[in-house]
């Protein structure tokens, strides 16, 4: 048996970075107190979700990996608590800007970064204004406790991303998120669809999924979003092991047996019976590969 406890968190964010970092640290410490060894915080938790609007001033929020206050702070926390922490941050490298995540191992070492591949662009979610498409490719990291794959928010809607990370050896998939209402259609609730997509990734790849989403309402320059939380953890078939509601700040913890999941994944034959030679259409935009 390879039992491990993992956690997903959710919280509202304010306009004060220190307040957000302190709130996030409190959640991490609470989850670690319940035995969690891999703890997921939400996307871009240092700030309000500034991507609601296109505003040049917000580029000043970006930092390098080495100078980012969240990464620096949580390296110390990870080492103290001996936990793995994927930390989302707004990265600047040279003249480029990325929506990135740094993977901090349980000894406080940064194993590397992943830059968000799929960048959304729509009312209230104007990310293409701020972020270049990620250039790292999908990655997995062998941490002290498990090999993890991490996608960021919009990545979670793409089965190709989940499958790539699974093929690379991930034992679980984690998705830090910031999603909520639709400004042009306030009555529309994407939460059931959002969750179903990721439960499908778990079932299709026979590995657990962890999603962490922010909560609360935020208004920036007249634009408002209400984030629906609902952070959750699945088993290796997509069934819910734990889920939070839409409003409560806190963390959820679930225990899983990664060795048993690995045995079932091998025995089921999904990866044995793949036919990469038949999937050429996936390498195109229009589904029509060159002959």
> At 152, phi and psi to the nearest 5?
-120, 115
Containing H/E element for 89? Answer: strand 85-93
Give yes or no for a contact between 41 and 213, defined as CB atoms under 8 angstroms apart. Answer: no
Say how far residue 143 (Cα) sits from the centre of its chain: 16
- In angstroms, the CA 154 to CA 177 distance is 8
Among the listed residues 5, 43, 139, 197, the single catalytic one is: 43
Q: In the chain, what is the greatest distance between 2 CA atoms, to the nearest angstrom?
A: 57
Q: Is 37 a catalytic residue?
A: no
- In angstroms, the CA 204 to CA 196 distance is 12
- In angstroms, the CA 85 to CA 72 distance is 12
Among the listed residues 153, 164, 197, 218, the single catalytic one is: 153
Residues with Cβ within 8 Å of residue 125, at least 6 apart in sequence: 51, 52
Q: Which residue has the tokens 């080495």?
A: 66
Q: Is 43 a catalytic residue?
A: yes
Q: Is 116 a catalytic residue?
A: yes
Among the listed residues 13, 37, 46, 116, the single catalytic one is: 116
Q: Which residue has the tokens 């062998």?
A: 142
Structure tokens at 157: 């809607």
Name the residues annotated as catalytic: 43, 116, 153
């Amino acid at each position: 048996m390879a039992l491990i406890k993992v956690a997903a968190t959710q919280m509202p964010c304010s306009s004060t970075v220190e307040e957000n970092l302190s709130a996030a640290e409190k959640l991490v410490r609470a989850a670690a107190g319940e035995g969690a060894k891999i703890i997921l915080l939400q996307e871009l938790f240092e700030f309000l979700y500034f991507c609601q609007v296109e505003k040049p001033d917000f580029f000043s929020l970006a930092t390098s990996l080495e100078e980012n206050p969240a990464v620096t702070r949580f390296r110390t926390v990870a080492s103290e608590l001996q936990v793995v922490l994927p930390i989302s941050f707004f990265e600047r490298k040279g003249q480029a800007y990325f929506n990135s995540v740094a993977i901090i191992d349980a000894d406080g070492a940064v194993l590397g970064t992943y830059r968000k591949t799929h960048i959304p662009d729509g009312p209230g979610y104007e990310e293409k204004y701020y972020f270049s498409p990620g250039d790292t490719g999908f990655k997995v990291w062998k941490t002290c406790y498990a090999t993890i794959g991490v996608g960021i928010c919009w990545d979670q809607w793409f089965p190709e991303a989940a499958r790539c990370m699974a093929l690379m050896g991930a034992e679980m998939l984690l998705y830090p998120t910031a999603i909520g209402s639709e400004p042009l259609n306030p009555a529309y609730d994407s939460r059931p669809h959002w969750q179903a997509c990721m439960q499908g990734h778990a079932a299709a790849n026979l590995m657990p999924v962890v999603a962490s989403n922010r909560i609360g309402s935020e208004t920036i320059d007249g634009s408002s979003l209400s984030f629906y939380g609902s952070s959750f953890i699945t088993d290796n078939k997509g069934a819910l092991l734990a889920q939070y509601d839409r409003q409560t700040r806190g963390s959820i913890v679930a225990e899983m047996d990664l060795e048993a999941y690995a045995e079932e994944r091998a025995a089921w034959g999904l990866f044995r019976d793949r036919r990469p030679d038949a999937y050429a259409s996936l390498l195109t935009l229009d589904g029509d590969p060159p002959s």
